[in-house]
Structure 1
Amino acid sequence: MDPKKQQLPPKENALFKRILKCYEQKQYKNGLKFAKQILTNFPEHGETLAMKGLILNCLGRKEDAYNFVRQGLRNNLKSHVCWHVFGLLQRSDKKYDEAIKCYRNALKWDKDNLQILRDLSLLQIQMRDLEGYKETRYKLFELRPTQRASWIGYAMSFHLLKDYDTALKILEEFRKTIQKTTYDYEYSELLLYQNLVIRESANLQEALKHLNTYEANICDKVTLQELRGELFIKLGRKEEASEVYRGLIKRNPENRNYYLSLEEALGLSTVEERLKIYEELKEKFPRAQVPKRLPLNYARGEALEKLLDPYLRTSLQKGVPPLFTDIRALYNDSEKVHIIEKLMSRYLRNLEETGHLCETDNEYKEPASILYVLMFLAQHHSYLGDSEKALQLIDRALNHTPTLIELYIVKGKILKHAGDFVGAYEALQEAQTLDTADRYVNSKAASYLLKANLVRQAEEMCSKFTREGVSAMENLNEMQCMWFQTECAEAYYRLGQYGDSLRKCHEVDRHFQEIIEDQFDFHTYCMRKMTLRSYVDLLRLEDILRSNRFYWDAARIAVTIYLRLHDKPLSVSTGENHINTANLDPAELKKLRSKQRKAAKRAEQNKVEEKKKEDKKSKGSGNSDDLENTPSEDLVPGKLERTEDPLGEAIHFLKPLQMLASNRIQTHLMAFEIYLRKNKPLLMLQALKRALKLEPSNPELHTCLVRFLKYRNEQLSQSGPIVDVITQEVTRLLPTTDPTSLNEDFLNRRQDSLPHRLQAARSMVLLDSVQRERGLTIATAVDSHLNNRSHQNVQLVLEWLESSEFNASPEEVSHFKNQCHKIFPRARAFFPPQPPASTTNESSELSPSQSTSTANHNHVDSPSS
């Protein structure tokens, strides 16, 4: 279009400036009114059309917004305003790559526009385009050399690129320009950031010199001393480091890290040296807890008993409920476990006979309550696997004091470890009724309800603390309550409700995406407030965000379900499923399937609309715009569980794990399962090699190796470069390339481990169905001499028997359950089936095996707790 037609007369130009001001001040209706006045006389003015589109986007009319912006851009392709507006529109939709392209186009027509450059730099740091970020910050530095943010942003661009020398030169030049005041926190933060860059450049001597030079200007004295102590240790100046850490301990005697750093600074290597220094610190800080607790990690034998006795007695005298949690780390040593049990049994005997913890010690004259000794011993025996004795002890404690909430929590935990999830949530419900205002007890009760697959009851339990007028499930999603959502996903998975489970997994995935997007607001804020060290920590945290365990749990469940859906796709549930498709030709069958999919989609949309209407009614005067824009409205369970590309969805969850959780063997086992179904032999081999480096004796890895060798023999019989590479690597990695020999050798070496026997039996049946009876005998042997004979591992055997991979008969399953019920009498998974007449509404959700056998868990680990 002719550029002259895009120039506005003075009157309309003034109106256009008012549109810009209305947009900045969020006066959108006035902005639209002024835009209408301009477009009445100049209907093809590109920048006005673009601004109108931007304002419509703010009002939620996204489709109209894009139409106006694109029309404005077509009318004036050389306008930086049109390109900038298009970039803002793309940015609002989280299409950052497209927005960057728009900003670069805008800069072609106005290369020195500060606002566009600032917006571009924000997107570049958000996307971690560090080279582009450096160029943009340099341009901003050139245009505004007097602004503090220009210096800081330019220096930080070099720091993030690990060009420490250039970053330090810029920071030092900037520091010289600062006017210092008596107590300048921002100047102090700049100095500490400068010291961070020096330390990361590995110039430790210079970093220490920098701290000493600017000590008076650094306001955070604790951080100053901590950095000084750290540098002294790294430089080998141990004596000076010990003095620093002694000063820090004096300042805060309950900081565990200070004591450990003092040990390192003093070069303590023997147990005697450590115990001696802690005796000295105990005398110096008699009320501090840490110098009494840490020596228990090092002492052994009589020395440990001498230290542990007063420690336990003091805690029991005071009635410290989390005493077991405090010393649980000692249970890695069987000798220490024996000493703990001996002491606690003696206390119990003394209390029963005399009412005192110790007969001869006059220090504890006041009678201690037997309650906390019983509670500790109950936790002790539960941890060691003796659930029956633990329950006897906790019942004695409850008879003594039936109103102590902690006792019910301990009882619930004991029952959970024994496999009785129903008893566990009943105990927690009792605790919850004793204190209905305790949010922790409420959450614990909800967690145990989910482990029992009672999702609706768990939601009702949580609703006591969620916002009124909104369903608990929706409010917990808004609050990003991920522990609830991951456990909910596991419960739905065990119940076979794959769509609902996937919805929860995708909601967790979106939470992490939202957290990544939320950092956008901090790029300018942190530079303005000079919290530079925290900003760098934030950027580095965001880079590894999906290594968090909540994402791991959600991704594991999602991958498991998608693999199951790939192996056994769900049929489209429509009213036309009764049609006989056997006599239809392929074209007619394709039309029918398409029609069924559309009908199912319409049905799901109708359900969503009905739910929206119900939610609007329940919210009353709530904002309907917010409701319509809820991020999970497209997460329809029926649509999720009938996806056309389940393996593609599984890879979406897997990729972050491959980057951030590569130290977990399950990541590579899941990758193997996906690539096996995609017929990608090299990627399968890559996953197996990574798994072998982490845990070569893992039982599930063995099954994957056997399946890979079988796949190689059956699918890759022809010669070629891929076959040659695989053969070479397999020969190098494994003692034999024959899967049957590999499995027999594995079984012979791992006869005493229940999980290994299960995987050997699986491999045996996969390789030769004739050996089904032998595999059954190997897998179902649950003798007392076997290692890892927990009810969770035995339940995995049960799930395999009930799966389509083995397809055991009802008699075989019943025999195995009876056998396990004798060993684990409280585990609900092995209860005999209840008669139909006694089934209640609540127990109908609890199948005899806790509904854990409704899904095939054989591809990856079961997500059950």
Structure 2
Amino acid sequence: MAANSQKLPQKESGIFKKVVRSYECKQYKNGLKFAKQILSNPKHSDHGETLAMKGLILNCIGKKDDAYDCVRRGLKNDLTSHVCWHVYGLLQRSDKKYDEAIKAYRNALKHDKENVQILRDLSLLQVQMRDMDGFCDTRYQLLKVRPAQRSSWVGYALAYHMNNDFEMALKVMGEYRKTQAPPQKLPDYEFSEMILYEVQLLMESGAYKDALKFLEDFRHYVSDMLAYAEIKGDILLRDKRFEEAELIFHDLIHRNPENLMYYQKLEECLNITSDENRMELYRVLKEEFPRSHVCRKVPLGFLKGPAFRDMIDQYLRPPLHKGVPSLWIGLKALYENKEKAQVIEELVLLYEKNLQSCNKFHPEDPDPMEPPSAILWVWFFLAQHFDRCGDHRRALEYIDKSIDHTPTHIELYMLKSKIYKHAGDLEEAALWMDEARSMDTADRFVNCKCVKYLLRVNKIDRAIETAGLFTREGMPPLQTMDDMQCMWFQKELARAYWRSGQYGEALVKYHEIDKHFDDIIEDQFDFHTYCMRKMTLRPYVGVLRLEDRIRGHRFYFDSAHDIIELYLYLYDNPDAKRAKDAPIAEEIEQDLSHLSESERRKIKRKQRKALAKAKEKAAEQEKEKEKENKPRHDDDRKAATDENKIKFNPKELLNVEDPLNEANKFLKPLQSMCTGNIRTHLLAYAIHSRRRKYLLMLQSLKRAFSCDPENPTLHCYIVDYVLTLEKERPELPDPVHTVIDDCIPRLTDGGKSPDELNQSFIAKHSNSLEHLVAAAQVLYKLHPDYRTKAIAMVTNLSDSLIDRSLRTCRNVHKFLSSGFLGDCSDELASYSSQCHALFPFASSFKPPVEAGKELESSPASPGDAPPCVGVAGRSPAAQKES
């Protein structure tokens, strides 16, 4: 096509400028009207840039298909237009296709190399995709085009910083600073941030002396004096100038006596090694800062004996006098030391006795008598204390005393609910938490706690209804929770769906959590230009580094772990996908076989009517659900047209062709972000073992071994791998043999046989119930005749066990009932009675008459699975089938 056919006359060129201006001002109707004026002229009906701008406007109003059609037509009509390529890149960027957008921008730059807007858009995508080499080149082009702009210099320096080239970043910042006159009017926040950013570059490069000199030279221009003092103190400490650093951190404690980090830095400055010196330091600081909570709390961690008793006595009495509900939370860490826990128990029991006898904590106290509420808070503390120590019966006694004393205090009911949860009775815990919620329906925190407890007992509808009390009116609670990225709720809801056998709904919630992390990564896009323009460079670098490891967050790890386990369960149990949709007709047909033909026809007719009614009801519910999900406000309608709002379909997620492939998608982020967590590598082995990827299995075992060589599940997997190799070894190629022979001796303690390895494992961990479960499973797999011995190993509940907890015993109960050791019904009844004596409130071990209706749960429910669920995580049936 001739080039001049795409050049507009003066009149149409003016209209085209109005199209661009309308787009920039978000006046989309006017933009379409002006574009129509140009395109309605037969001479310009195929004008590429106008078609591209029309497509861009159509994309903004939600007409994506028409938008792509217009932009592609425009690009086809004018391949040499930078506007058409730029618009095509903008469309790709709106669809999160960043690689395609970068290609389009590069093509646009071929036809207009110095277009600032295209260069800026390209640099944003490059830093978003962490293409730091390309980002550096693009920022250099921007600097050449706009050398007078501060953002050009700063962006170029930042590019080198993110490439860890600190020398070049400092050189760029130094050259820019030379061109700028120091600010005449102080404080100048942006210049101050630029100075602190250069200091950060010097510190990260290891030039602490240069950083200190630079900071001192420009101290008059720094407006953030707190950051100045913290940075200077840190540099002096690293440079071992302890006396100067001590003065700075002492001044910082004056500014904020509750900042624990300042006290820790001060200890480093004084090079304190003995507890006596530390105590002397905090004694002096306590006199200087008598209201500081940190000065009174920190010594509790290192004091022992009578000194600890005196200090904890002084620490406990004021909050018990005032009535501080959070007192015990600050002391939880001390309970790792049993001696300190015993001292606290003796002291608070003495308080209780003295308050009941003379209404004082100590009879010889010169202070006046304590208020009547003091005994309440002593009981409240004792209830938390005995709950932490595992004596739930005494904990309930004390909390009942507290409720009888003051029946209107919500904290008491919440604590009673928590005690029942720790004791193993989730139903009762949910009832008491709901009671606490009903006492103050305006308390969002208590409402959230109640929702969580209801989900733990699989009361899904009730939990959603309760959560809806604080969601946006006129919108379904689930949609609001998704919009607010309320991940704790979605995780608990997913687990409740899983336990209830609604696997598709569980997968939806897990995928929604995954999408939240995608959205968090996408949201950083808005800050790339803002931070460079406003000079918030230090926080910006922190945000970029945070985004690089965001999928290592606990919420993502837990959700990814659960969904991988769920996909593995669906792979091992394909029939589970159809469990909820099994046809009723075949089951009834078997029951009708003994009836006459006429009776059978009557019942079949009734059955067809019932099925028709059921289908009709389901259709009505689906329509009602769609009606609820429809937006009711203009803002919601706009949000509904947003392409980012992905709606997951439970059936599609449930009926994936390859569950292992889906599980692997969630495993990859864990392998890059959570390499220090052994569960990542155990999940990797579980996936690769089903695919028979022997080298990847070996890699997973090696990584898990480096994290925790004594892990019980790892022991099962190592034995499983060795046994698998014995069968499959002849079929493996020689290079694989070489790698395996090189690595196996380290995993098997010098090449021990599975039998020797298991015996050694039992001898080493004879006092750990969790490890004995793994050893019993291996023993039964190696020697099925030793079933009695294996059962005896896991049902032993002697006092010598170090992990005889409710959680471990419940996992053993699930392990015995799962069939991994065959039919254990008799042993299971005996084991349940033993556990019931140890944990009388736990519903898992109550006799059937006492327990009542048990919670519905899936065989593969998350969060409370046995420590070792079959070899490589497979059920016996799945192992036999494979």
TM-score normalised according to structure 1 size: 0.92
Letter matched to residue 498 of structure 1: Y
- The equivalences for 1:204-603 within 5 A come to 204-363=208-367, 365-367=369-371, 369-570=374-575, 571=577
| CA shift for structure 1 position 491 | 1.8
Aligned residues of 1:795 and 1:829 also touching (Cα < 8 A): yes
Separation of aligned partners in 1, 2:638 and 2:295: 57
Aligned residues of 2:62 and 2:641 also touching (Cα < 8 A): no
- The equivalent residue for 1:682 is 695
Letter matched to residue 69 of structure 1: V
- The equivalences for 1:654-803 within 5 A come to 654-718=667-731, 720-735=734-749, 736-803=751-818
Aligned residues of 2:500 and 2:857 also touching (Cα < 8 A): no
| CA shift for structure 1 position 200 | 0.7
Worse-matched range after superposition: 474-483 or 634-643: 634-643
SS of match in other structure, 1:808:
coil
Aligned residues of 2:359 and 2:369 also touching (Cα < 8 A): no
User: Over residues 804-856 of structure 1, what are the superposed CA-to-partner deviations in whole Å (9 max), with x where a residue is unaligned?
Assistant: 64453555544433332232221122233359xx97xxx57556999779989
Worse-matched range after superposition: 788-797 or 512-521: 788-797
| CA shift for structure 1 position 196 | 0.6
Letter matched to residue 668 of structure 1: H
Residues 483 and 15 (structure 1), Cα distance of their counterparts in 2 relative to 1, 3 Å cut: same
Instruction: Kindly indicate whether residue 869 of structure 2 is the aligned counterpart of residue 858 of structure 1.
Output: yes
| CA shift for structure 1 position 621 | 6.8
Aligned residues of 2:499 and 2:858 also touching (Cα < 8 A): no
- The equivalent residue for 2:65 is 63
| CA shift for structure 1 position 183 | 1.5
Separation of aligned partners in 1, 2:810 and 2:73: 63
Instruction: Kindly indicate whether residue 637 of structure 2 is the aligned counterpart of residue 637 of structure 1.
Output: no
TM-score normalised according to structure 2 size: 0.90
| CA shift for structure 1 position 441 | 1.1
Aligned residues of 1:489 and 1:557 also touching (Cα < 8 A): no
SS of match in other structure, 1:389:
helix
User: Over residues 699-729 of structure 1, what are the superposed CA-to-partner deviations in whole Å (9 max), with x where a residue is unaligned?
Assistant: 1111111111121112223451102211221
Worse-matched range after superposition: 512-521 or 810-819: 810-819
SS of match in other structure, 1:477:
helix
| CA shift for structure 1 position 299 | 1.1
Residues 385 and 277 (structure 1), Cα distance of their counterparts in 2 relative to 1, 3 Å cut: same
| CA shift for structure 1 position 502 | 1.2
Instruction: Kindly indicate whether residue 4 of structure 2 is the aligned counterpart of residue 17 of structure 1.
Output: no
Worse-matched range after superposition: 337-346 or 171-180: 171-180
Aligned residues of 1:496 and 1:855 also touching (Cα < 8 A): no
Letter matched to residue 743 of structure 2: E
SS of match in other structure, 2:96:
coil
- The equivalent residue for 1:27 is 27
- The equivalences for 1:75-154 within 5 A come to 75-154=77-156
Worse-matched range after superposition: 792-801 or 762-771: 762-771
| CA shift for structure 1 position 769 | 3.9
SS of match in other structure, 1:619:
coil
Separation of aligned partners in 2, 1:655 and 1:853: 21
How many pairs does the alignment contain? Answer: 836
- The equivalent residue for 1:822 is 837
User: Over residues 434-476 of structure 1, what are the superposed CA-to-partner deviations in whole Å (9 max), with x where a residue is unaligned?
Assistant: 2211111111111111222222221122111111111212111
Letter matched to residue 626 of structure 2: K
Residues 658 and 774 (structure 1), Cα distance of their counterparts in 2 relative to 1, 3 Å cut: same
Aligned residues of 1:351 and 1:370 also touching (Cα < 8 A): yes
What 5-or-longer segments of structure 2 have no aligned partner?
A: 588-614, 875-882
Aligned residues of 1:100 and 1:123 also touching (Cα < 8 A): yes
SS of match in other structure, 2:470:
coil
SS of match in other structure, 2:741:
helix
| CA shift for structure 1 position 312 | 0.9
| CA shift for structure 1 position 109 | 1.2
Separation of aligned partners in 1, 2:58 and 2:289: 66
Separation of aligned partners in 2, 1:853 and 1:659: 23
Separation of aligned partners in 2, 1:136 and 1:111: 11
Separation of aligned partners in 2, 1:70 and 1:803: 59
| CA shift for structure 1 position 236 | 0.7
Aligned residues of 1:195 and 1:207 also touching (Cα < 8 A): yes
Aligned residues of 1:833 and 1:848 also touching (Cα < 8 A): no
Residues 451 and 533 (structure 1), Cα distance of their counterparts in 2 relative to 1, 3 Å cut: same
Aligned residues of 1:15 and 1:34 also touching (Cα < 8 A): yes
SS of match in other structure, 1:463:
helix
Letter matched to residue 707 of structure 2: L
Worse-matched range after superposition: 9-18 or 78-87: 9-18
Separation of aligned partners in 1, 2:387 and 2:466: 27
Residues 25 and 672 (structure 1), Cα distance of their counterparts in 2 relative to 1, 3 Å cut: same
Aligned residues of 1:828 and 1:850 also touching (Cα < 8 A): no
| CA shift for structure 1 position 365 | 3.9
Separation of aligned partners in 2, 1:224 and 1:777: 65
Identity %: 45
| CA shift for structure 1 position 14 | 2.3
Letter matched to residue 501 of structure 1: A
| CA shift for structure 1 position 605 | 13
Separation of aligned partners in 2, 1:523 and 1:704: 46
What 5-or-longer segments of structure 1 have no aligned partner?
A: 581-601
| CA shift for structure 1 position 328 | 1.3
Match of 1:44 among 38, 46, 57: 46
| CA shift for structure 1 position 603 | 13
| CA shift for structure 1 position 495 | 2.0
Letter matched to residue 483 of structure 1: W
Residues 814 and 629 (structure 1), Cα distance of their counterparts in 2 relative to 1, 3 Å cut: farther
Residues 767 and 516 (structure 1), Cα distance of their counterparts in 2 relative to 1, 3 Å cut: same
